[in-house]
Each structure stands twice: as structure tokens, then as C-alpha cells.
Structure 1
Amino acid sequence: MTAPESGRRSAAWFAAEGRNGFIHRSWMRNQGFGPEVFDGRPVVGIASSWSELTPCNAHLRDVAEAVKRGVWEAGGLPLEFPVMSLGETLMRPTTMLFRNLMAMEAEETIRANPLDAVVLLSGCDKTTPALLMAAASVDLPALMVTGGPMLNGKFQGRDIGSGTDVWRLSEEVRAGRMSPADLSEAEGCMSRSRGHCMTMGTASTMACLAEALGMQLPGSAAIPAVDARRYALAHAAGRRAVALAEEGLRPSHILTREAFENAIRANAALGGSTNAVVHLLALAGRVGVPLDLDDFDRLTTEVPVLVDLMPSGRFLMEDFYYAGGLPTVLRELDEAGLLHGGARTVEGTTMREATADAPCWNREVIRTTAEPFRPAGEGTVVLRGSLCPDGAVLKISAASPHLLKHRGRALVYDRVEDYIAAADDPDLPVDENTVLVVRNAGPRGYPGFPEVGNVPVPKVLLAAGVEDILRISDARMSGTGYGTCVLHVAPEAAVGGPLALVRTGDWIELDAAARRLDLDVPAEELATRAAPPAPEAPERGWAKLYTEHVMQADRGADLDFLVGRSGDAVPRHSH
């Protein structure tokens, strides 16, 4: 289906003559629309991942209303529609199992309907990359509005952060230094407003990277969810969406190689989530931009960590916004020659124009490149070696310095559940030098690639005052997590990667500075070893399709048949 000579895509539905036009207009009018809304004005879809099962996105109905006001004001017709919602806090086995399903569902919904532009409403971790992937595949004019972070948590007179303090406080209880009653009190003090995690976890990271990519209006990523400026921003996004439909500015015009390099460097400066690696690789695959795992290391060797935020630092997203937010960080990078200032933004400006006058109101929270929070090279690094020939990642800023060059004996678990069951065993054979290996938690092995890479430190070590040990897995880690955790080991154990051959007692050596992770076992001995049986593959439904087609972590864990743009053309006439 193609649009008439007017060029408006929606006109193929609403300006059609005869039976087809009658059907499309008549059924829409049961919602109270008059004939004047079908006068050729741009139709702007509002893709909402609202759900009460996704607490981070549960306020997006209100955000959608603000977007609608902007669309109406600019002379467009706003039409809100639901897309699959992924809530990290409730969904099992992991929302990552469903990121590609959400992207596919949203892509098909956008393409199949009479839309000239789309506003993407997201919040929780996977909803942001999934909607960006969908929009990139359809390549209709699009922009994103994320729901914003919660207000700072407040507990016993101090700030606490979502995720980061969950791990910390629960470990305090396991170690006997905090009472269960205090933990219960903290539970009601942490998530005290609408919004997503207020640490620099995956939700905050991906919101910032949507802005760094140019797909979100400049200055919008960090506004707290309950701040009136969040709704003013959504109103402005509705107005801008109408202009995008008129201008024809598409994601493929914005999501260039330069935009991805900006996002990678921004993530390093933010001390952002390791999950950004997987999501950016998948998104780049959708638009055909060459991007590989080593780019995440090569492009950040000169980028210092500028932001003092949990889990790498002290502050939270509310503080970050008040200090200036992402535009301040991008301006710092641009002035240091670490940003492609000419990259386009969805606002129609260049990145340099959008951030040139960005102020900083708190240098404790956002530092300069001359006096950074952490030196260059302490973001996420990429490891290679005999244990991870296709790569692995390690977040240096969240790790313990004394473990960044380490050699120890492996303690191996085939399933994360087996380790969790043993973690509190007082006779567990571990010491501070043990290398804990948990496998079969990659894209195919679990299936779904869960956030279990930062498994808890054994209780016997916590009781002895040891708060961190080297942990290695083919899993991911929550962006709010911390610890010396090597993640995304590729190939994963379930497809026959070297991780499948590790045995308890083997020597493993990490040298983060040299970007090496090696299994110190002779090749001839490994050749005699049989890998443990791979987990049984799902037999039906989405999990079966996912397992058969998901690519490895170093390819973004997208489905192999979804790589590349499909465009906005409907395959065939509906009538």
C-alpha cells in the first residue's frame, strides 16, 4: 500500500475513495471524531508501553495525554495504541527473553496502521531499546519520550538508590549487620514516586543514550517522572512529531555511525550499564550501521567517567538532572573533542547546537574532563582470551581494583539456581581468591540472557569481611549492580563455548588492563573434556522461536531474521 500523490502515508487509508475510505473513516468516528480530522493532517501514533505490571511505565497514560495535547496543538491527529510492556521487576524468567518480541510486535503494529510519525513511550530497561529497534526497522519519522526516573529514595536520613541498595542492603542482612525489620522499612522508602530506577541502571542509561543518539529531545532523559517539566517535554514532543511528519526526518537520518559513537562515549562518561552494549549492537544491526563489540573499548580509551552516580558513585538521577543532565555531559565531551558535534538530533539541530550552552550547576555530580570522577578507560571494557574468544565485558567503575588483575581457581555451577541454593552453605569451599563461574545463562542457555551475573558473594566470605570476588558468567547484570563481574562471555556455554569446558579447580586469569581473560588449561586437555549436556530447548511458542534464531551477545542478541531495515510499506492491500 502506498500513499496517494499528496505523499501523506495516512492518506492511503483516510483519503481513499469508495468502500475503503468509508470503512476507515466510519469506524474511527465511533470514537467521537468529526470529519474534519480526516482533512489530510498528519496522523501521529503514540506507542505506549503502559502497564500496571510494569511499575516503571505505569504513569505513561498521563505522559501520552501530554503528547496528545502537543499533537493537537500542532495540527495533527494523535492516536494512542498499546505495545507489549516489559517490566524487569516482575517478569520471569527475564524481560530480555521478550525484548525482541516487543520490538517485532511494535514494528508490525506501526507498519500496519495509517501513521505518518510515531512517538515512542518507554521507561523500564528493555522497553526503550525494543521501541527504538522497532522504529528503526520501520523507519517512519519517530522520536522517543522516556518516562523519567523516580525521585531519590530516602531511608534513615540518607539517599538510597533502586537496585544498587537492594543488592547492598540484602547482603548486609545475609552478613548479620542489618535486621530484616530495617530491610522491610527500606522497601517502602526506595520506590517512592512514579518512574524508573533513579540510579544509572539500564533504564536511566538507555534513556540517556536515546538522547545521545539524537532520538529523544535534548535535555529530556533525566527529568524526574513526577516533575511538571516531564509533561511539558511530552507536550513539546507531540508538537515536534507533527513537524517530523512534515519534514520526513527518519530514524535512518539520525542513527548514523557518528550517532552510535556518540552514544558509546556518552555511556562511558556516565558510567552507564553494561547492557547498553547489547542494546546498541542490536539497534545498529536494525539500521545497517557497522558496529562491533571492540568499538565499545576502542572508542572509550580516552573517555573519563564524568558523572558521580550510583552504582559507580554516590548520587542519583534527580541530582544529575538538577546538575544539568546529559546536555552538560555531552558539552564536556564535545569540548574535549570526544563527540561528533555535527550529528543530527530529532529536534532538527546538531548535537553541538543542542548542547553548546548547557550549564553545570553542581560540579560534585558532573565533573569536567580535566578533573573527572574516574580516569579514562574505567567504564565498560571488552575482554578477549581463551575463555571468551568472541568477547566478554567488565564494568571497571563498578569493580574492585584489587581484582582487576587476578588469578584463582574456579568454582563452577551449571545453573544459577544451583549456586543460589549453595551460596549460604557455611562449608562452601571458597576463599577470597576463588573465581566463581556460573554458566548456561546466556541468550540460548537460560533461555533469555538473564541479569544474574552479579550473583551474591558466598555468605561464609561476607561473614569474614570479604565483600567481592571475581565472578564470570555468560549472563548479564543489572545496570544497578556492582562487583567484579565478567559478563556476556561469548560464545556462551550452551552453544559449546569454552565456558562449557571449565571444571572446578581450573586456574583462570583476568588481566583487565591487558583486556585478557584466559582459562589456564592446556589445549590438549580441553580436547579430552566433554561439555555438560546443554539445557533442553523449549518445544513451543516464542521461547522456541527465540532459541532457534537468537544471536550471541557479541551480536546484540537480536533474532537473525530481524537484522536490517524493512521499511514502512505494507506488504499487500488489506481489501
Structure 2
Amino acid sequence: MRSDNVTRGVERSPNRSLFYALGYTKEELERPLVGVVSSYNEIVPGHMHLDKITEAVKAGVRMAGGTPVVFPAIAVCDGIAMGHVGMKYSLVTRDLIADSTEAMALAHQFDALVMVPNCDKNVPGLLMAAARLNVPTIFCSGGPMLSGRLQDGRRTCLSHMFEAVGAYKAGKIDESGVEDYELNACPSCGSCSGMYTANSMNCLTEGLGLALRGNGTIPAPYSARLRLAKHAGMQVMELLRQNLRPRDIMTEAAFHNAETLDMALGCSTNSMLHLPAIAHECGIELDLEYANDISRRTPNLCHLAPAGDTFMEDLDRAGGVWAVMAELNKKGLLDTSVMTVTGKTLAENLEGVENLDPELIRPIDNPYSSYGGIAVLKGSLAPEGCVVKQSAVAEEMMAHQGPARVFDSEEEAIEAIYQGRIVSGDVVVIRYEGPKGGPGMREMLNPTSAIAGMGLDKEVALITDGRFSGATRGASIGHVCPEAAQGGPIALVEEGDLIRIDIPNCRIELLVDEETLARRRAAWVCPEPKIKTGYLARYAKLVSSAARGAVLE
């Protein structure tokens, strides 16, 4: 066993003495050492209960003959970090999480790992670490929050809360209306209740084969989540016995399965940042444009918030991720020969799985749309691509042309929106918010929520080299590459330039002639970095925008 390096032989007597200082017994040190990576903290609602999940995982490991050893992973709450400098630190934590977990696991020579993440960057960060370390590993997330309920009985969630601020600014609701959302949008522990980034990545972890059934959908407050955690702890010992490792499971076919599931569920556009980064750690390069090929043949089967008015707890009752995959499998859209952490193939896992609510998970022959939830657009404004959650775009905005309203930061754009300076037909352009330019590639949930709250989401488009939350709806197009700080065409847009968006044909064009663009490019000077010292400054120098959102070279 790998842990023999720290527990066996006379030469390791000093190592064992330190384990004894921790209270471990000789009998415990004779068993496999299983690292349990706990993302518990007291600042993230999706993580506030992970101490209980971690204890359940430990119980499962012990029941199956292992010795669990807990160590931590950091986590940022994107909602609390939103709207200020803190959001610049969110995406970069993904790499910090991967790096620190790798360091801890190798320094202490664990035989296997159980990852206990939940919110936005912990899941991809720990998946990246799992791929690097390639020791038997299983994931058990903290699960989604329950949906909220307003005083008038309407169900609600965090994205509605952000939009309520815009509605207040537009005079559509008063302060008591905002407070109603404030007190009721987030009623429990867990990752926020719509198909946002955290829940998207937890569901896609099932799609990749690294988690047991229910990982993405069993609500955080349910006791079934504790039972799942115990089973994950037990199953990691079986993975160790079989020597079944993450890279045996996360094959190229598994990533394409995850992309297919992504399209069917209508996941967050952030998955287009995270899946390629995880695949990169496995030695697999995912072509961003290939996502369109998958989208064209994959029907969108779910309209969870913000695309619709259903929530993660509803998806769980309908049969969860496996029920969605069972529908996809009816048309042969998945490679079911892939291995999973159950110790079985995906085909074996899906035997007998039923869709328990055809209203929530549309049958494969009656989808919401014949194409998937995400589209990658290319054109003169984004030669290397940009991403839109097309399942959350109103029909009338699928094709749009309008004048650019240009802003060099999120704050400038929000001020203009709330002052009524953005009108029907406009295309809001927010730039210098990419990985280098931000630095940190902030999420643009505040401006899109402001547009929706002001009632303009079916009339105004938004384009940015930043990124969008899974909570975003409307014609919100992000991840524009090359970003402005790299001299991409988005840096050359001027006020009033016409921009054409054609989502069905995957095109985005800046309607300015080449001679004019060449003149602007010759005059362009990159602005001074917004943050010049500390981790973000170092990160901005290392990060490769072309690697799709912060894969460190």
C-alpha cells in the first residue's frame, strides 16, 4: 500500500510516533489510510453541514475496514463574494484547491481519497486533484439547498433574489418585497437550488462516473444524503481493492458523456471552463467547438431554474441524473461501456432506471428543444469562441442585432443599467473582466440580474470576457476569447458599433470593416493591471485564457 511509506518498518518509527501523537492505534495504522477531503466551513451555506457529511463518510470507511483521515479544502461562497473585489478570487480558488489537495495527499501518502465538496470551485478543483493523484477516489457532495417559498406561496431561489434588486431599482417592488426574497430565497443548507454551477458540476460528477447515484440531486437536509455519504465511504474501500482509479474512469468517452448530460440538463456555462480543465489533468484535450456537435444531437430535457420554475429537489424526485441518462440512452447518445465508481459499467448502472416524472424530465421524443442547453459561438468578435446558455434565452433573443454599449468594468455597466441608460435593442459589452484582465474572470450575475430585474432580458443582450453564473438567464454571452487584455476584438469595440448575435447558427459578429479594426488595433494599449500585487497578480501572469478559463500552464 502507498501508506506503507509512512506506517511500515523500523525506518518509519518516527512517522508512526507522530500518528500515535494524533491518537491513532497500531490497529488503525495496519489498515489502509483514506484521506477524506472536507470542504466544511462556516461561510458557505453549501458547506455549513459538510462536517456531518464528513463524519458519515468516515463511518463508511471504518465499516469497510479503512482508517479515515480528514484534511480540509478551502471554499468561497460565490454569492457572498459577488459584486465586489471578492469575486475576482472565486475562480482562482479552483487551482488553489487542486494544488493544495495534491500537496496534502502526496505528503501523507494516502491509499485512497473521498472528496467532500459542494459549491462552485470545489467540485472542479477536487476533480482536477483526483486526476493528478490518480489514487482510488470517490466523490460525495453536500447536495442542493431546498427551494424557498415567498409569503404569497410562490417558490423561489437565489437567482430570483438577485433579480429582485433590479425589480426594486425599476420601482416594481418595494423594500418589503425585497425583504420577502431576502428571508426566503435560501431556506436551508446546501448548494443554491437551481441548475447553477455547483449543482451542474455535482450532477456532471455523476455523469463522469466519479460519484454514486444521487450525488448531484439528493437535497442537503435529507437523511438520504448521510446514507449516501456512508455508502461512498464503504465504496472507496472497494475501489481500493479493485485498484480502480480516476483516470480509469475519466476517459475521453466519459467526458463526452458528461458533455451530453450537460446539454440535456441545461447546466451552467461554467461547465465549459471546468470540464476542459479537468480533462487536461487526465491528458485529454476537449475541443470547445466539439460541444456544438454534441449540442446539435442532444435534446434539452430539463428546464430547471433559472430556465424554468422547477428545482433540484424536483429533479431528485423524478429519478435524478441517472433518469436523465436513461432517457439519453434510449437514442444511444451515451457510451455506456465506460466504468464507474460503482464498480460497474454505465450500462449496468442504468438497468431498470425509470423516468418518474415525464413533465420534469422530458422524454427523449418530447424534449424542450432538439438541441442542447449550451452553445459555443464564434465569429469576428470571438475568434476563439464564447459561450451562451441557450436553454435560458428567450426565443425573441436567439437572433439579435444592436448597438454596442461599452463598459470596461462590471460596476460601470450596472450603474448605467440602473440609471436607465440601457434601452431596448442595446448590446451591453463588459470587457477587461477576463482571467488576465480582471484579473480572475468575475461572474457577471449582477449585471444580467439587473437587466432581468428591469424587465429588459427579452430586449437587451450582454457580452463579456468575464463569465456567467448558472443562475444567469437571457441573451448573456460570456467567456469571450481572446479576452480584451490579450488584445482580442472585444477590446476594439466602440460605442455604437453594431453587433450581430445568431445563436442558432453559432455566430457572433462585430460589424466593423477590417480597415477600421486594423486602425483601432494599432492604437490599442492594454490598460494597467487592476491588481498589481499578491496572488491575483501572479495568477494573471500565469493563466492562459486560450485554455478556457484559468488552466495554469
Partner of 2:58: 68
The one of 495, 500, 508 aligned to 2:499? 508
1:48-107 alpha-carbon deviations (Å, 9 max, x no partner): 111112221111110010001111111100001112222212331331122111211111
Map of 1:257 onto structure 2: 252
Match of 2:139 in 1: 144
For 2:454 and 2:55, locate their aligned partners in 1 and report how far apart those are by CA, in whole Å.
52
2:545 paired with 1:542: no
1:453·1:475 contact (CA, 8 Å) conserved in 2? no
User: Within 5 Å, which residues of 2 pair with 1:135-174?
Assistant: 135-174=130-169
Letter of the 1:256 counterpart:
T
Q: Please, which of 5, 9, 18 is the counterpart of residue 27 of structure 1?
A: 18
Equivalent residue for 2:28? 37
1:391 aligns with 2:382: no
Question: How is 1:111-510 mapped onto 2 (pairs within 5 angstroms)?
Answer: 111-372=106-367, 374-426=368-420, 428=421, 430-452=422-444, 455-456=447-448, 468-510=459-501
Write out per-residue CA displacement over residues 231-282 of structure 1, whole angstroms, 9 at most, x where no aligned residue.
Answer: 0010011111112222211111011011000000101100110000100010
Given that 2:448 and 2:476 are in contact with CA atoms closer than 8 Å, whether structure 1 keeps it comes out as: no
Letter paired with 1:497:
G
* C-alpha separation in 2, matches of 1:93 and 1:171: 19
- Aligned partner of 2:439: which letter? P
Cα displacement (A) at 1:506: 0.7
In structure 1, list runs of 5 or more residues that go unmatched.
1-7, 561-575
> Map of 1:40-59 to 2, 5 A cutoff?
41-59=31-49
What is the TM-score when the length of structure 2 is the normalising length? 0.95
Distance 1:466 1:220, change over 3 A: closer
- Counterpart CA distance in 2 for 1:63 and 1:45 is 14
Deviation by residue 1:174-199 (Cα, 9 ceiling, x = unmatched): 22121111211221112111111110
Counterpart code for 2:461:
L
Q: Deviations over 1:204-234 (max 9, x none)?
A: 1000000000011123320011111100010
Equivalent residue, structure 2, for 1:12: 5
Q: Shift of the alpha carbon at 1:354?
A: 0.9
Q: 1:462 to 1:38 in 2, by over 3 A?
A: closer
Which letter maps to 1:62? K
Choose from 470, 488, 512 the match for 1:521. Answer: 512
Alpha-carbon distance in 2 for matches of 1:105, 1:531: 39
Q: What amino acid is the match of 1:285?
A: H
Query: 2:318 and 2:150 mapped to 1: Cα distance?
Result: 22
Which whole-Å CA distance do the structure 2 matches of 1:552 and 1:22 have between them? Answer: 48
Q: For residues 131 and 321 of structure 1, what CA distance do their matches in structure 2 show? A: 24
Distance 1:60 1:249 in 2: 26
Structure 1 range deviating more: 243-252 or 75-84: 243-252
The answer to whether the Cα contact below 8 Å between 1:308 and 1:314 also exists between their aligned partners in 2 is yes
Q: How far apart in 2 are the matches of 1:209 and 1:440? A: 30
Q: 1:110 aligns with which of 100, 105, 109?
A: 105
1:556 Cα deviation from its structure 2 partner: 4.1
User: Structure 2 CA distance, aligned partners of 1:293 and 1:363?
Assistant: 31
Q: Aligned to 1:168, what secondary structure does the other structure show?
A: helix
Distance (whole Å) between structure 1 residues aligned to residue 2 and residue 454 of structure 2: 64
Q: Supply the distance in 2 between the matched residues of 1:269 and 1:29 (Cα, whole angstroms).
A: 51
Given that 1:50 and 1:57 are in contact with CA atoms closer than 8 Å, whether structure 2 keeps it comes out as: yes
User: 1:469-504: per-residue Cα shift (whole Å, max 9, x none)?
Assistant: 111111111101111011100000011100000000
Aligned pair in 2 of structure 1 residues 535, 478: CA closer, same or farther (>3 Å)?
Answer: farther
1:567 counterpart residue number = none
Cα distance in 1 between the residues matched to 2:454 and 2:541: 43
TM-score, normalised to structure 1, is: 0.92
Tell me, yes or no, if the aligned pair for 1:453 and 1:474 is still in contact at 8 Å: no
**Cα pair distance change 1:482/1:462, threshold 3 Å:** closer
CA shift for structure 1 position 296: 1.2
- Unmatched 5+ stretches in structure 2: none
- 1:504-540 per-residue CA deviation (whole Å, 9 max, x = no partner) reads 0111111112211111111111111123532416443
Percent identity of equivalent pairs: 36
CA distance in 1, matches of 2:443, 2:44: 17
Q: Do the aligned partners of residues 129 and 30 (structure 1) sit closer, same or farther apart at CA in structure 2, a change above 3 Å counting?
A: same
Question: Any conservation in 2 of the 1:454–1:471 contact (CA below 8 Å)?
Answer: no
Q: Within 2, Cα distance between the matches of 1:264 and 1:513?
A: 19
> Please, what is the CA RMSD of the aligned residues?
1.8
Inter-partner Cα distance in structure 2 for 1:87 and 1:106: 19
The whole-number CA distance in structure 1 between the counterparts of 2:325 and 2:445 is 30
Change (3 A) 1:276 1:466: closer
User: Displacement, 1:391?
Assistant: 0.3
Number of equivalenced pairs: 546
Question: Is the contact made by 1:163 and 1:481 (CA closer than 8 Å) also made in structure 2?
Answer: no
